[in-house]
Chains A and B, each alone.
Chain A
Amino acid sequence: MVTYIFKRFFAMIVTLWLIITLTFFLMHSLPGSPFNEERTTSEAVQKNLEAHFNLDKPLPVQYVSYLKSVIQLDFGPSIKKPSDTVNEMLGRGFPVSFELGMLTLLVAIISGITLGVFAALRHNGIVDYIAMTIAVFGISIPNFVMATLLIQQFAVNWGILPVATWKSWQHMVLPTLALATGPMAIIARLTRSSMLEVLTQDYIRTAVAKGLSPFKIVFKHALKNALLPVVTVLGTLAAGILTGTFVIEQIFAIPGMGKYFVDSINNRDYPVIMGTTVFYSALLIFLLFLVDIAYGILDPRIKLHKGEGK
C-alpha cells in the first residue's frame, strides 16, 4: 500500500508538471499582455513594469524561474491587483468554492443514489418513471438555466430564499441545488442500471435463500456491488462540479475562486492564471487518486498493487 501511494504520488507530480508547462506556454502564446489596455502608457513605464514582473526576459528563463517559485509553493504576485499575492487570493476564494463544491457533491451523491436505488427496486413502476423523468430533466437542463429558474421561483416569486451572495445556510441552498441537479441525475441513472444488473446476480438469490430481509439484501449485498461504476464517474463529476462553480459563482455573486479564474484570463494576469490552473489541477488529480483508493475498498478483487491478497 505504501509503495503504491508513493508511486502514485510520483505520477501525480509528473502530471502536474506537464500541466504547468502546457499552460505556461499556451498562455504566453496568446496575443497581448497584461499591459495592453485602451489607456496608453508610455513606453518607458511599460518597460519598467515588464522588468518588474520579469516579463522582459526570454520565455525559457521565465519558465524556469516560475517552476522554482511553484516548488516553494509561491505563486507570485497578481499583476492587476498588486496589493494581493496569488496565494492570498486562493486562500480567500478556495474555502468558499470548496464549501460549495463539497456540499454539491454530497447532495448529488446522496440524492442520486437514493433515487437510483428506488427506481431499480420499483423497476418499470411509477417510482421508476418519476425518478427517471427527474433524471432526464437534470441531465438536459444546464446549471446556469437551472440557477436562474431557481432564483426566479424561490427568491423572486416566493421570496423564501436569498437571491445571491454567500453568508448563511439559506444562501447556500440555491447554488448547491443548481449545481447538484446535473451530477445527481447522472448518478441516479448509473445507480439504477447497475443496481438492476446486480439484482439478477446469483449471489442475490443466495441472499434471498438465506432468508434475509429485503432491506439487508439491497443495502448489504446489492448496493456495494452496484456502486462501483458510480465511483468511476465520481472523479469526472467532481471535475464537472469544479468548472460548474465558475458559472454558478458568477450568477450568485459568490466570492469563490471562479471569479478570480475568469477575471485573470480576461486580464491576461499571468500569475493568477497559472496559480488557479495549477491549484485546480492538483485538486482534481488528488480526487482521482481518492477514487482509485475507494475502488480497492469497495471491491476486494481490485488490488492496488501486486503481491497483496493471496
Chain B
Amino acid sequence: MEKVLQVQDLHVSFKTYGGEVKAVRGVTFDLHKGETLAIVGESGCGKSVTSQSIMKLIPNPPGKITNGKILFKEKGLVQLTDKEMRKIRGADISMIFQDPMTALNPTLKVGDQITEGIIQHKNISRDEARKKAVEMLQLVGIPSPESRMKQYPHQFSGGMRQRIVIAMSLVCEPEVLIADEPTTALDVTIQAQILDLFRDIQKKTGVSIILITHDLGVVAQVADRIAVMYAGKIVETGNRREIFYKAQHPYTKGLLNSVPRLDVESGDLKPIDGSPPDLFSPPHGCAFAARCQYTMEVCEKVYPFETKLSDEHLVECWLQDERAKKMKVNIR
C-alpha cells in the first residue's frame, strides 16, 4: 500500500527553565493511504506533540524538532520554511483539535471560517468556495447548511461544532487528517455519531486519518492500526486485532486491563501502578521498567530491540527476546 506519511526517528524537545524536556524520543511510523492509525497512550506520553510536529505547530521556542524525518509523499517537512509549510497546512494535511467549543473563532461566521481555507489554498471564486462549503456541511450532516453558514459558533451545540470543525478540515480535500482527541470533549452519544461520521467520510473521500486518543473504546471502533505510545516512544504497533487480542507489551496489556468492563462482577478499576518517568532525564533502558511486573535486569540498562511478531505487529520489549523465553518466570 502507498505510504502517504512517514515519520522516522522523530525527536522533539522543549526547553524550559528546569532543563530540556524530551517529549518525543524517536517515534517511527508509516501512514498508508485510506487507513486510520490510532495513536494511544496516557496524558503526557507525547502523542499530541507528535501530531503537532507533523503540522509543525509546535511553538518554537521552546519546542524544537531535534532529530528525525517527516515525509509527506516522500517530501521532507522538517526543513521546510514557514511559508512553504503554510501551503501544506490545511491543504494536504489538516488537523482537528480536541475542544470544539474553543476551536472556532467566536466572532466570525461559520461560513467564513470554512471558506477562508479554500480561498487561501485553491484558486477559486468566493461563490464556488461557498458552494463547496455548503456541500461539506451537508456531508458532515448539518441540516439546512445554507442558512447555517450565516450563523456564529455560539449558535451551535458542541457536537454540531465538531461537525463544523471536521467540515472545515476536509474542505480542501487533504490526504491526511490528524484528529487530536476529537471526541474527548463530547458526551458519549455525540461521540458515537462523530465516530460514525469519520468512518463515513473516510469511505467517501479516502482520506488517511491519524487518530490521537486515550480512549480505547474509540480506538476499537474506528482504528485499522494502533500505535501505543509510552514516555515519548512507540512501544507496540499492530492492527486492531493484534493489539486488542494479542498484545505483548506489558504496558499495552496494562492499558487494556484498566478499561472498566461491564461483564465482570467486581467494579474495581485496575490501574497500572506507578507513574510515568520524568522526561527531563528519561531512563536509559525501557521507560516502563519501573512499573512493569516482569522487569529483568536488562530492562533497566538497555533499551529493548524491536521484535517483529507479524507483518504489522511490532513490539519493543525484552520479554520478546529469545533469551527471555528460556528464563523462569518470577513475578515480583
Structural contact, A299 and B168, CB atoms closer than 8 A: no
Q: In the complex, what residues of A have CB within 8 A of residue B106's CB?
A: 203, 225, 299-301
A280 to B102, CA, bound (A): 42
Q: Does B105 contact A (CB under 8 A)?
A: yes
Q: A203-B106, A224-B107 are in contact. Are A209 and B165 (CB under 8 A)?
A: no
- Interfacial residues of chain B within 85-123, with CB under 8 A of chain A in the complex: 86-91, 94-95, 97, 99, 102-108, 116-117, 120-121
CA distance A206 to B178 in the complex (A): 12
A224 to B108, CA, bound (A): 9
Q: Note all chain A residues with C-beta closer than 8 A to B55.
A: 209
Q: Chain A contacts of B88 at CB under 8 A?
A: 211
B side interface size, CB within 8 A: 29
Cα A205 to Cα B105 with chains together (Å) = 10
Within 8 A of A (CB), among B65-91: 86-91
Contacts of A203 in B (CB 8 A): 102-106
A202-B97, A203-B102, A221-B108 known; A210 and B155 CB under 8 Å?
A: no
Q: Is B154 an interface residue (CB 8 A)?
A: yes
Shortest distance between the CB of B70 and any CB in chain A (Å): 15
Bound Cα distance A212, B115 (Å)? 12
Residues of chain A within 8 A of B99, CB atoms compared? 202
Give chain B nearest CB distance to A271 CB in angstroms: 47
Whole-angstrom CA separation of A300 from B155 in the bound complex: 10
Interface residues of B in 1-60 (CB under 8 A from A): 55, 57
Nearest-Cβ distance from residue A89 to partner chain B, whole angstroms: 44
- Residues of chain B within 8 A (CB-CB) of A305 are none
In whole Å, how far is B87's beta carbon from the nearest beta carbon of chain A? 7
User: Smallest distance from the beta carbon of B127 to chain A beta carbons, Å?
Assistant: 20
- Cβ proximity bits B169-195 to A, threshold 8 Å, 1 near / 0 not: 100000000000000000000000000
Complex contact B121–A211 (CB within 8 A):
yes
Q: CA A205 – CA B103 in complex, angstroms?
A: 8
Q: Indicate whether B152 reaches chain A with its CB closer than 8 angstroms.
A: yes
What residues of chain B lie closer than 8 Å to A201, measured between beta carbons? 102
Indicate the size class of the contact surface on chain A: 20 to 34
CA–CA, A225 to B79, complex, Å?
33
User: Shortest distance in angstroms between A232's beta carbon and chain B's nearest beta carbon?
Assistant: 15
A interface majority secondary structure: helix
Question: Does A310 sit within 8 A of B, measured CB to CB?
Answer: yes
Closest residue on chain B to residue A298 by CB atoms: B107
The distance in angstroms between the C-alpha atoms of A199 and B168, with both chains bound, is: 20
Does B152 lie within 8 Å of A300, measured CB to CB?
Answer: yes
Q: CB < 8 Å: which of A208, A209, A210, A301 contacts B116? A: A210
User: Is B105 a contact of A309 with CB atoms below 8 Å?
Assistant: no
A211-B120 contact given A205-B97, A309-B155, CB 8 Å threshold: yes
A138 to B287, CA, bound (A): 56
The CA-CA distance from A300 to B152 in the complex, in Å, is 7
Residue ID in chain B nearest A227 by CB atoms: B107
CB-based nearest B residue for A200:
B59
Contact (Cβ within 8 A) A211 B86: yes
Interface residues as binary, A100-124 with B (CB distance below 8 Å gives 1, 0 otherwise): 0000000000000000000000000
The winner among A211, A220, A221, A299 for most chain B CB atoms within 10 A is A211
> Restricting to A202-259, which residues have a CB under 8 Å from any CB of B?
202-203, 205-213, 216, 220-221, 224-225
B154: which A residues are within 8 A, CB to CB?
300-301
Name which residue of chain A comes closest to B105, CB basis.
A203
Rounded to whole Å, the gap between the CB of A159 and the closest CB of chain B is: 48
Query: Which chain A residues lie closer than 8 Å to B90 at the CB level?
Result: 209-212
| Nearest CB of A to B62, in Å | 13
Q: How far is the CA of A2 from the CA of B165 in the complex (A)?
A: 35
B103 touching A202, Cβ below 8 Å:
yes
A45 to chain B, nearest CB (A): 66
Contact (Cβ within 8 A) A301 B91: no
Query: A208, A225, A309 — which one has the most chain B CB atoms within 10 A of its CB?
Result: A208
Contact, CB under 8 Å: B89 / A300? no
Q: From known contacts A209-B55, A211-B91, infer whether A221 and B105 are also in contact, taking CB-CB under 8 Å.
A: yes
> Which 3 pairs of residues, A with B, have the shortest CB-CB distance?
A211-B89, A211-B90, A202-B102
A-B residue pairs in contact (CB < 8 Å), sample of 27: A202-B97, A202-B99, A203-B102, A203-B104, A205-B57, A205-B97, A205-B103, A206-B103, A206-B168, A209-B55, A209-B89, A209-B97, A209-B169, A210-B117, A211-B86, A211-B87, A211-B88, A211-B120, A212-B90, A213-B86, A213-B120, A216-B120, A220-B108, A221-B108, A224-B108, A298-B107, A300-B152
Excluding A209-B97, A212-B116, 9 further A-B contacts by CB distance (< 8 Å) are A202-B99, A209-B169, A211-B86, A211-B120, A212-B120, A216-B120, A224-B108, A225-B107, A301-B154
B residues sitting closer than 8 Å to A (CB atoms) are 55, 57, 86-91, 94-95, 97, 99, 102-108, 116-117, 120-121, 152, 154-155, 165, 168-169
